[in-house]
Amino acid sequence: MYFLGVDGGGTKTIAYLFDEEGNLIFKNTSGPTNILENGEEVFRKNLKELLSSILKDINPKDIKSCFGLPAVGEFREDIKILRNIIKDELKIEPDIIVNDVVIGWAGGNLARDGIHVVAGTGTITYGRKGNKDIRVSGWGSIIGDEGSAYYIGYRTLNEVSRELDGRKRKTDLTKLLFKKLSLKDHLDFIEFIYDPQKDRRSNIASVAKITYEIAKEGDKKALKILKDSAKELAITVTTANKFLKIKKPITVTYSGSVLEKNDIVREEFINILEKEGYKVEPPKLSPVLGAILLAFLSFGNKEKKGKFINKLLEIYKEENKL
């Protein structure tokens, strides 16, 4: 028996395949698989690119899978539609299809009670207490995703647009952004944002890294945008626990580039929540390994559970040099 885990995202998608002894057989990465943001054609293309090379050599009946995908729970007949596409493109029957935040939660605290925040290109928070669960945020880039890389990028570009036309006093934010993006004037600025050759959501989200660099150089506007991001992410956690009512200290884990790589956002996020009695910890496993764990817990040999989880922990530590 093999266990397949897929972590879909707004920028990239990751897949791992394990055997039942906990040995990593295959891993691969492809482009985004948010069917609402990227469309069905892109979804199909990237899914096929991700897995077709390995699945052609394995009997589909020997695979137990968990797909963590963006947009699950966000449109009618979502599971049915996604299941049919997966079967059509990969010739396997997907066993578990959940929102990608669920596999983040499973990896974050080994599928135990707690709350998990995904803050990458987009944002969504998931919490579970026993059989009770809740999702907060994750409304997409058009009306939501506060705290995400897209949010940071949008806020930054909006501030710069205001400085460019004089609604706000010009500061180092505009000068540094133009320098880092090699922009000469406002026409370059517009072209960067609306370039039809680029995925607009991913392109705007990429500005978050530059906002972080500018904040590190001491720009107050950039720093405020990042701290506002942390506040928005913390609100999703406290909102989730109003429903769950997990007793403090409540374990909160996280995944996604904004909280994993941006120490300004992460430290502010931790400070806000720790004052409220939450215990914020880095994830024990990556989301894709969380998908593997959910597949194993549903279909694997329970006697091998401890050994299997230890193998996943070892791989995560090795990959992240922990």
Q: How many domains does the chain have?
A: 2
User: Are residues 46 and 125 both part of a single domain?
Assistant: no
pLDDT digits 0-9 by tens, 220-270: 999 999 999 999 999 999 999 999 999 888 999 998 899 999 999 999 999
pLDDT at 322: 53
User: Are residues 138 and 158 both part of a single domain?
Assistant: yes
User: Are residues 80 and 147 both part of a single domain?
Assistant: no
**For position 233, which CATH number holds?**
3.30.420.40
User: Are residues 192 and 248 both part of a single domain?
Assistant: yes
User: Are residues 157 and 279 both part of a single domain?
Assistant: yes
User: Are residues 65 and 136 both part of a single domain?
Assistant: no
pLDDT at 282: 93
- Rounded to 5°, angle at Cα 259 from 255 and 263: 145
pLDDT at 175: 92
SS3 state of residue 64:
strand
User: Are residues 152 and 186 both part of a single domain?
Assistant: yes
Query: What range defines the domain where residue 311 resides?
Result: 2-109+285-320
> Does the pLDDT at position 214 exceed 90?
yes
User: Are residues 103 and 87 both part of a single domain?
Assistant: yes
pLDDT at 154: 96
User: Are residues 104 and 123 both part of a single domain?
Assistant: no
Sheet of 2-7: strands edge to edge?
24-30, 13-19, 2-7, 63-69, 96-99
User: Are residues 226 and 78 both part of a single domain?
Assistant: no
The band of 53, judged by pLDDT with boundaries at 50, 70 and 90, is confident
Q: What is the CA radius of gyration of the chain?
A: 20
pLDDT at 66: 97
* This prediction's pTM: 0.85
pLDDT digits 0-9 by tens, 162-196: 999 889 988 889 999 999 999 999 999 999 999 88
User: Are residues 173 and 255 both part of a single domain?
Assistant: yes
CB 108 within 8 A of CB 255: yes
User: Are residues 143 and 221 both part of a single domain?
Assistant: yes
